[in-house]
Structure formats: C-alpha cells, structure tokens
C-alpha cells in the first residue's frame, strides 16, 4: 500500500484528491492536513465515514504516522516550504500547487537529488493539458507568433496560471525569444497587451463559472491555429495525480511536469 497524506484537503483540489485516494486500490490515506480545518478526524465531515486523522500543522504529521507520498494542493505561499518539508522527511512530494518560480524548483530538485528521493511538481495534471502544451511547443517551430489566453474561476490566487507559464517555457525552448506585435505599440490602458514572456503575451481571465481553460493562439501569413484545452471538472486532474503517486515511488528525482512520468 502507498501511504498518502493530502495537504490542503479542505480546498477544491484537496477534497477531490482526498476522495480519489480513498477510492483507489493500493492507496492508503493516512492523514489530511489543513490549518483551516475545524475537525480532528475526517469522519466529522458528513461526506466521509473513514477514521482518518486531520492535522493542522505539518510537523504533527511526522509524530503520528509514516507517510510515503505528500499530495500538495495548497496555496502559492506555502508550496515551497511544504515540498521542502516533505523531502527533508523522506516523503515523496506530488505537488500541484502553482506559484513556485524556476529557482524554487531548482532548489527543491537539488534537495531531492541529495536525498535520492523521487517526486513531481506539475502545473497541470490533466492529460489533455499536457498534450495541449506539447502540441503548442511543436507548432511554435513553424508559427513563432503566439499569444496565450488562460481562463480560470475567480477564486484563483496566482496569475498567470502555472500551466500558462509552463506552456510559455516550452514554446520558448522551441522558438527562442521573439519580438511580437508592432515594435512601437503603446498601451493607452496599462496591461492591455497582457504579461510578456520573452516577447509572447499571456492574458489571464478570471470569471465565475469557469474551472480551468487555456487557448494557445498562433498567427501567421493568411492563417491561424488555435489549440485549446478545457477542464470542465476537477476530476480531470485525478488520473494524473493517481499516476504520479505510483510513479514517484519508483523514481529518485524530482521532476517538473507530468509529461516526465508518462
């Protein structure tokens, strides 16, 4: 059995992941963590019957039980510290929380190398989103002019999304930096052209009713190409999270992007 803890279990993703772990043969939920939980046991919540401890501080996780995998769907401010804590205590991190920058990821990878422990940081666990990013990187070889429009629910804390940043990184690997639009263009309203990543514009839409969506829009002479992915429901991420929990048990590196485990 793979012993798993879910950090951020009261949240939208954490609660979906908690149910996935409980429903997956071969996985054992040994605890859930959330400083904003009022409960001390999962079975105090009407949707659960299982006797599972609820932790409010990450340090308490260690005193009470042994853990193989740390699933993290928390908030950008704590993702780095949580992942570091997991690695330092030989728990394999499966991190979906966004907001980690390149240097954070590199530092965590160095620590994982020292500890020879596997893990994953994935800005997006949906298989369709991985394909969207790979197709976009492929298209950028022939269509260097591209803008990313990511659309999310209005409770999202970070902008642009982790997926948009990863997409932009993958595109830049193929086409390099590339100035887009008119060199003399001016914004009469600040932010009108979106964020800039190596010449590529990224636009973040936040609206009620949305879940997680992204459109990568290419333009060229007389033609356009749009690659779009939609997560209509958070269950879209769970196949990837379950796969990661199994795969990290066999790895000795912390990888960035689910595609590295497929």
Ligand X SMILES: O=C(O)C1=N[C@H](C(=O)O)C[C@H](O)C1
Ligand Y SMILES: NC(=O)C1=CN([C@@H]2O[C@H](COP(=O)(O)OP(=O)(O)OC[C@H]3O[C@@H](n4cnc5c(N)ncnc54)[C@H](O)[C@@H]3O)[C@@H](O)[C@H]2O)C=CC1
DSSP-derived secondary structure for 142-161: T---EEEEEEE-TT--SSS-
Angle at 262 between CA 86 and CA 140, to 5 degrees: 110
Q: How far is the CB of 252 from ligand X (least distance, A)?
A: 26
Query: Is there a binding annotation on residue 65?
Result: no
Choose which of 4, 33, 52, 54 interacts with ligand Y (CB under 6 A).
33
Contact window for ligand Y (CB under 6 A) among 109-117, 122-130, 143-151, 167-175: 122-130
Q: Has 115 been annotated as catalytic?
A: no
Contact window for ligand Y (CB under 6 A) among 3-11, 24-32, 46-54, 201-209: 3-11
Rounded distance, CA 78 to CA 84, Å? 10
Choose which of 16, 83, 161, 204 interacts with ligand X (CB under 6 A).
161
Q: Six-digit token pair at 122?
A: 């994935």
Please report whether residue 15 would count as binding ligand X according to CB under 6 A: no
Residues 232-252, buried b or exposed e (16+ Cβ, 10 A)? Answer: eebebbbebbbbbbebbeebe
Please report whether residue 156 would count as binding ligand X according to CB under 6 A: yes
Output the residue with the shortest Cβ distance to ligand Y: 11
Query: Is there a binding annotation on residue 98?
Result: yes
Please report whether residue 10 would count as binding ligand Y according to CB under 6 A: yes
Nearest alpha carbon to residue 238 among 1, 23, 74, 51: 23
Query: Is there a binding annotation on residue 163?
Result: yes
CA-to-CA separations, 118 to 1, 31, 50, 253, in angstroms, rounded? 17, 20, 29, 4
Choose which of 25, 36, 59, 184 interacts with ligand Y (CB under 6 A).
36
Rounded distance, CA 7 to CA 18, Å? 9
Which residue is catalytic, options 58, 152, 166, 229?
152
Interhelix angle 76-88/102-115, nearest 10 degrees: 10
Site string for ligand Y, 217-236 (x = CB under 6 A): --------------------
Q: Has 201 been annotated as catalytic?
A: no
Q: How far is the CB of 79 from ligand Y (least distance, A)?
A: 7
Which residue number, 189 or 207, has a Cβ lying nearer to ligand Y?
207
Helices marked H in the chain — which ranges? 12-23, 58-64, 76-88, 102-115, 127-140, 162-175, 238-247
Please report whether residue 206 would count as binding ligand Y according to CB under 6 A: no
Which residue number, 112 or 241, has a Cβ lying nearer to ligand X?
241
Helices marked H in 116-194 — which ranges? 127-140, 162-175
Q: Which does 97 bind (CB under 5 to 8 A by kind): ligand X, ligand Y, none?
A: ligand Y
Q: Find all residues with CB under 8 Å of 14, minimum gap 6, and list them.
A: 6, 7, 8, 32, 34, 71, 73, 74
Residues tagged in the binding site annotation for NAD(+)? 8-13, 38, 96-98, 122-125
Which residues form the interface with ligand Y (CB under 6 A)? 7-8, 10-14, 33-36, 73-76, 78, 96-99, 122-125, 237
Which residues form the interface with ligand X (CB under 6 A)? 98, 123-124, 152, 156, 161-163, 212
């Amino acid at each position: 059995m793979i012993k798993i803890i879910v950090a951020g279990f009261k949240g939208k993703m954490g609660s979906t992941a908690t149910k996935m772990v409980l429903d997956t043969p071969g996985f054992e939920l040994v605890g859930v963590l959330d400083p904003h939980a009022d409960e001390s046991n999962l079975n105090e919540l009407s949707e659960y019957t299982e006797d599972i401890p609820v932790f409010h501080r990450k340090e308490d996780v260690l005193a009470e039980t042994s853990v193989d995998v740390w699933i993290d769907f928390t908030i950008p401010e704590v993702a780095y510290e949580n992942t570091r804590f997991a690695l330092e205590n030989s728990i394999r991190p499966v991190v979906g929380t966004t907001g980690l920058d390149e240097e954070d990821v590199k530092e965590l990878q160095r620590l994982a190398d020292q500890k020879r422990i596997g893990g994953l940081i994935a800005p997006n666990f949906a298989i369709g989103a991985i394909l969207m990013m790979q197709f976009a990187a492929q298209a950028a070889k022939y269509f260097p002019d591209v803008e990313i429009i990511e659309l999310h629910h209005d409770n999202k804390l970070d902008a642009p999304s982790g997926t948009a940043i990863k997409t932009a990184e993958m595109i830049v690997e193929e086409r390099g930096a590339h100035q887009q639009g008119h060199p003399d263009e001016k914004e009469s309203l600040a932010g009108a052209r979106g964020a800039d990543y190596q010449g590529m514009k990224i636009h973040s839409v936040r609206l009620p009713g949305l879940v997680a969506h992204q459109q990568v829009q290419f333009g060229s002479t007389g033609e356009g190409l749009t690659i779009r992915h939609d997560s209509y429901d958070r269950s879209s991420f769970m196949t990837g999270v379950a796969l990661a929990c199994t795969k990290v048990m066999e790895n000795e590196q912390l990888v960035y992007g689910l595609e590295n485990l497929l």
